[in-house]
Each structure stands twice: as C-alpha cells, then as structure tokens.
A and B are shown apart, each in its own frame.
Chain A
Amino acid sequence: MRALRSIPGWGYAAVTRWFVGGAVAALLAADLAVTSLHPWADLQRLLGGLIHPDLLSVEVWSVVYTIAFAILGVTLGAGAGFVLAIPFARFRSVRLLCAGLRSVHELFWALLLMQVFGLSATTGILAIALPYAGICAKVYSEIIEEADLAAVRVLPEGTGAISAFAYGRLPDVATAFRHYTLYRFECAMRSTLVLGFIGLPTMGFYLESAFRQGRYAEAGALLLVFYALIGSRRLWMRLSTLPVLLVLSVLALPRTIGTTNWLASLGRFVTHDIVPSPLRSGAILDPETWSRLGLWFRPVLTQQILPGAFQTLVLAQVALVATALGALILFPLVSRRFAGPIGQPFGRVLLVIVRSTPEYMLAYVLLQLLGPSMLPAILALTIHNAGIVGYLMGRHADGLPYRADAPTGLNLYAYETVPRLYGQFLAYLLYRWELILRESAIFGILGVTTLGFYVDAAISELRLDVAVILIVATALLTAMVDALSRALRRSLRLTDLPTRLSEARHGPETSPLRPVCS
C-alpha cells in the first residue's frame, strides 16, 4: 500500500486506464451466456405484474416483520457502533474487530447465526446488528474526527472524559449521527428484505416464492409496497417516533415456532462445527494431526478459495467499470441543468426506485430471466450502483458554480461538468469498489461461481468448518480491496471528498445528500 502512495504518475487518467483495462481483461474470463430461450416473455410478465399488482395478496405481517427487524437491527447495531466509536481511533484491536464485523455480509452472518438461533427473530436482528455495528463504529468515529474541536478546547481543566464528550463533542456531531443512522435504516430495510430469501419471515420470503412460481402480480404488489415504505420513510421514521416504533417492533416480533436450545447449539457450533475436521478428532500435539490439517486445507484452497476469489474479482471488476459507465450516462437525468425543471423530478424518481431495489433480489430475478451465467449478476450490480452514483453525481452537477456564458448540452457535459466532477466521480467509485466486491461474493449463493457459491456448497454438505474458512477468505479479500481503494484515494488526493455521505458543503440544498449504502 505504501508503495502505491508514493507512485508519482498516478493521475485520474492512469487510474481510469488501469481499471478499464482490468475490466476488459476480466470480461474475457467472464461467462456471459444468455441461456434462457424466452427472456422477453418472462420480462413482459414481470412488468405486467408491476402494472397490475395484486395488492390483496400481500402478507401484511411480512411487511411488519421487515420494518421491525430493520428498526431493532439498526438500533442495536448503531448503539453498539456508538459505544465502539469512542475507542475506535485509539485502539487497533477495536478497529480490527469492527473491520471483521463489517467485512462479512449480512447474508453470511444470517447463514451462520441460523445454525445457532434457528429461523428466528434473533437471527434476523443480529444479522443486521453485527455488520452494522462495525460500519457505524467506523463512520461515527470518522464524524467525530472531522468535528470542530472549538467547544472541547474551552472546557475547564479536569472535565471528565465522558462529560467532555457529551457536552463538548456530541452536540456538534449529533446531526451528522442522526442523518447517518436514519440512512442506515434505509439500507437495513433492503438487507432485511433480502434475508427473507433464505427463510426469515420478511417480505423477501414471499417475494422469493412469488418469483420462483411466476406469480408476478403478487411480486409486483410486494415490490410496490416496499418502494412506498422506502419512499415515505422520512415521514414516519424520525427521532421523535423512534421510541414508539421500537416498542411496537418488539411487540410485533414473530414468535419463534419451536425453540432452539441456543446455548447448547452455540457451544456445539463453536467447539465442534466450525473446528476444522482433522482437529476435531486428532490430538492437538500430534504432528500427524497437523499434516492431516494441511491435506484437508489444500483442496479447499486450490479448488474453492482461489477459483472463487478469482471469479469474485472478475465479477466485481466488470461491474465496477460498468457502474462507472452507467453513472456517467444516468447522472444528467437528475441534474436540473441537463434534464430541465420538468425532466429532473422524473429522473430522480427513476434513480431512487433503482437504488431502492436490493441488488440481491435484482440478481435473483435476472438469473431467472436470462439463465445462469455472470451476466445477470453484472447487470444487477451495475443497475443498482449506477443508480446510486448517478444520483449523487447529478446533485453535485447542479452544485457546481457555472459561468454565465457556459456552453450547453453535450459540450457542457463533456468539456466542463464531467472533467470538473471527475475526482468526485472516482472517489465514489473507489468507495463502492469494496461494496461491489462484498456483494459479488454473495451472489454465489444464487449460482454464479464466486466465493458464495462454495459457501453455499459447504453449508449444504454441513461442512461448517469449510464454510467459515471461505467466509473468512471473503472478508480478507474485501479488506484488501478496501485498503487498496483507500491507498488509491490517498494517492489521487481524493480523501477529502465526500464518499459515503456527501456533506452539503458544495450542494445547493440545505439537506445533506444521503450517503450510499455501505
């Protein structure tokens, strides 16, 4: 990483060339076949379902559970994140813990938690809370670091650390915390929906059934309800309504059908299931055991981790560059300067819908429409992320101060807006890189041969030891890409630009731009 920082010639153009070159190379290795014979017929039926939704078929409790899991998951995650944010900057161990928590995807957490807590509310809530604690700790700590220290400096000597924090710092960062936390809630709604695809009783449970059996009117209705919930969240999800929502969420939680003796399950999970199988039977001090461990690990490495990691990187690389192209095409739609006062609101609605659609669900649907290959996964990642980056870029485009005699149309776009926003554009993309990679790994569960594919296989074979090793490998890959992305942003001097939340500094509107899911 340090070497990268000192590479002198790395400008925007060089980075762009490297990424595009990488994506072209990855495309050669990617499997892009369309195997389904009637993709358009299915797509038409799907769109028909959205136009004629069967609203009566919506399972109301699944909507309630989706909201309840999201609210409780975010509250626990943000609460834990808040506590961890305070020692975050000072202790490396806290930073490592948080990095570990957030580099494992919610779905992987859910698959592991299910082994212990079964199909229960606890599994759903913790699957959200654990990774969100990691990410919230990091972001809260960044917000604290960026905050104005003026109030702290004038505190009398001998002020306790807690008092100093509560009275000197918290008032300054509270707004940023609130915005970020409410934003996490939107992400959590998407995550919770997706948890339904593996069996938790949220909206995803019914969406999966509806898509699988081609009941598109029901799927359309569920989707419309979900968009309505996301679209109206600022009306009902406020700090003032939070206590009421929390109590209601707890009361509404589904009763677990059947009980699991979770302490016993946890014990078995930790001391038996996830211990590599050669270590379970053999004596720890026996060198024979360790050579058997090597024999056990080698095929996992060569036949699962390496090919899985390669395919994950291929998918992420292609999707990242496709996202970049998509965002460049889409952002004028949400910019007043390009789309005009009438076009802009439509563009915004379109992009908000696109980014509200969980990419996992999008990939699931596209895999059904196009058949099994990497193409549906690339499309899903691109559509979702281009929607997000395009939306943010469009708002930046309107925030730029233009000269009165600035050109218009394509000339303005190509010679002024894009060049001026290019650094910001790269900052967003480099930030999304890690998120795209995490999601690429997860898509393996749907049948693309990324790391998740092998995790799914290991779980099907009840080889949780292998599953855990694969999940750890995924987390390490994610962390590596995260570090590389940060090094690149430093070398390009992009670190001061907004990535997760674009602070309203440059924006024309008073409300800060909402961050993008991380």
Chain B
Amino acid sequence: MLRRTLCGSLLVALGCLVASGPARAQDGAKPAFVFTGIPDQDESRLVERFGKVATYLEGKLGVPVKYVPVKNYPSAVTAFTNGQVQLAWFGGFTGVQARKASPGAQAIAQGAEDAAFKTYLIANTKTGLMKSVDFPKAIAGKTFTFGSRASTSGRLMPEYFIREAFPGKTPEEVFTRVGFSGDHSRTIQLVQSGAFEIGAVDYSVWDLDTKAGKIDPKEVAVIWESPPFPDYQWTVRGDVDAIYGAGFTEKLKAALIGITDPAILAPFARSKFIPVTNAAYEPVERVAKSTGLLD
C-alpha cells in the first residue's frame, strides 16, 4: 500500500513537473511579452508604476504584456539574462551587467532625468552634519548604509566618490559599520530611525518619499549632492525581433518614448522618456571596473 502510493505519487509528480515546464508556455500562439524592474523602492509604488506600464504597452504593442515582480536587483538581471523577461527597467550598473551577460541587448530609453542623475548623501540629524557643497569628509568614522549592492546611485557611484575622497581606503575602512539596506526607501528609513548615521540614496526616490510624507525633516536631512552620472534605462533583449516580428524593438522604443500620461510618469518621478544607446553607459562601466564590481 505504502509503496504503491509512494511510487504512484512519484510518477504523477514527475510527469506533471515535466509537463509544467516549457511545454505549457508554448500553447499560446503569441508568447506574452514579459518585463521586470529592479525593486529600488517601496513595493506598492513599483506595483503601481509597472502595472500602468503593462497596460499601456499592451495597447501599443498588440501582444499580452506581463510584469514579473522580483525581490532583489540580481534576480532582475538573472531573469533578463536567462530570457524569462524581454525588457527591464534597470539602473545604470544592473543595465551594464545585463547587457554584458546577454550579448545583443540594447538600452533603448531612459528618463529625461537619467542623463544627469544624482546621489544624495543623507544623515541622521543627531550627527549634527550640515549640508555642504564639497564632499563631507566628516562622515568618516560614522556608520553608513548603501542601498542594494548592485545599485548605481545607492552603491556604485557613492562608493566611487567615497574612494575618491579617501584615497586608498575602502568604505569598510572609512566607516565603523557598512550595511546594504536593499533599496532606497529602506535606506531612508534606516537613517531616519538612527540604525545607520549616514546613507546614500537615489535623489528621485528621496523626492518621491518626501512628497509621500514619509520623511521627517527633524530626523534626517540631505548633506551632499553628487556630481551627475547616467542612471536608469529600459533595456531590451536582442532576440525580441526574432520572437515578436521584425521592427518590434523600434515599436517598443517608440511606445516608451511616446509615454505622455502623467499618471504613468509620476510614479517614476520622470518627466518623459528619451532615446538612449548602450554607449551612454560607458562611464558607469568604467566606474564599475575601477571599484572592482565588474571584471
């Protein structure tokens, strides 16, 4: 009895696992066009913005469009490189990672603000640090949190500026404690609560969270604005034309650039999307190599 049940169960499970794999997804005539985005801030805002993008793109492209939520930055890159998603809203560095691992992939559009993006260094007000134009060297010896490990404005660029300000030292040597919060909204919360004294955040998320009333100016303030660098972009896989028909990439690019609805743009904190190419992200790649995050 036991053996029969076990063997039967095993067979059923195996059979179904095999059946549920790639075969199931091929039953539709047109495979759904799937995209994701790096989870850089509060999830409710991500669901709102990407839900709207999915509906918009479905209308423009004539194929079903789906959004896959992910829990961390590398999952977004992995989903892109193994072909689970065809399009992704990446940060500067994750975009470079994804295009390097997936030859043929192209950056097609960025927010108008992304050509000259900024990092804010923020500090808990108890540190007594004031806003300055020059890099605030007084942050040495404090506790510090980055955003995600693979974030451009929350890790790569701030690490680069820190290494420039303290030559020959790594962030671990400059600060008494270094953490990785995971996303920018969380960085703000951690510095606001005092769990970390200093943090590096994406300026657009800071602005969005300020508007949402999540920031208490008595607890946390911006102490430094970084020089500009290129950041977020939409990157598409190289094989989409082969799957969805010639000219699909161009159609997609036109659709993204054609977004004018403030309801879609507002949760992105972008005024519009503009065309971009892979070459625009060469500075990010150079910085990533110089800080050892990229080979």
Contacts and interface: CB of A to CB of B under 8 A. Distances in A.
A460 B182 CA distance: 11
Interface stretch (A241-249, A326-334, A380-388, A418-426): A241-249
B139 to A, nearest CB: 16
Interface in A45-96: 72, 75-76, 78-79, 82
A119 B179 contact: no
B17 interface: yes
Interface string B1-31: 1110111111011101100111011100001
B49 interface: no
A301 interface: no
Contacts of A212: 43, 182, 186
Contact of B20 (A38, A250, A372): A250
Contacts of B32: 257-258
Interface size class of B (residues with CB under 8 A): 35 or more
Contact of B294 (A118, A177, A198, A461): A461
Given A198-B71, A372-B177, A461-B149, A115 B5 contact: no
Contacts, number: 159
B255 interface: no
B171 interface: no
Contact of A259 (B7, B83, B101, B143): B83
Contacts of B13: 72, 75-76, 79, 246, 250
B71 A197 contact: yes
B5 A239 contact: yes
Interface string A363-392: 000000001100000000000000000000
A255 B23 CA distance: 11
B160 to A, nearest CB: 15
A258 B34 contact: yes
Given A259-B25, A262-B22, A459 B74 contact: yes
A250 B9 contact: no
Given A118-B78, A462-B77, A198 B72 contact: yes
B130 interface: no
A265 B21 CA distance: 14
Interface stretch (B191-199, B226-234, B265-273): B191-199
Contacts of A261: 22, 82-83
A35 B196 contact: yes
A491 interface: no
Contact of A116 (B44, B82, B97, B194): B82
B180 interface: yes
A120 B83 CA distance: 13
A381 B169 CA distance: 35
Contacts of A198: 71-72, 75
Contact of A37 (B43, B75, B194): B194
A213 to B, nearest CB: 6
B93 to A, nearest CB: 10
B220 interface: no
Contact of A461 (B10, B69, B70, B150): B150
Contact of B75 (A114, A170, A177): A114
B21 to A, nearest CB: 6
A319 interface: no
Contacts of A205: 71
B78 A115 contact: yes
Interface in A208-256: 208-209, 212-213, 239, 242-243, 246-247, 250, 253, 255-256
B14 A177 contact: no
A243 B9 contact: yes
B95 to A, nearest CB: 12
Interface string A152-181: 000000000000001000100010011000
30 contacts: A35-B177, A35-B195, A35-B196, A36-B194, A72-B13, A76-B14, A79-B10, A79-B13, A115-B78, A122-B20, A177-B2, A199-B72, A213-B42, A213-B43, A213-B44, A239-B5, A243-B9, A246-B12, A250-B16, A258-B83, A259-B25, A259-B83, A261-B82, A262-B82, A372-B195, A456-B149, A459-B74, A460-B150, A461-B294, A462-B74
Interface of A: 35-38, 72, 75-76, 78-79, 82, 114-116, 118-122, 125, 166, 170, 174, 177-178, 197-199, 205, 208-209, 212-213, 239, 242-243, 246-247, 250, 253, 255-262, 264-265, 277, 371-372, 447, 456-457, 459-463
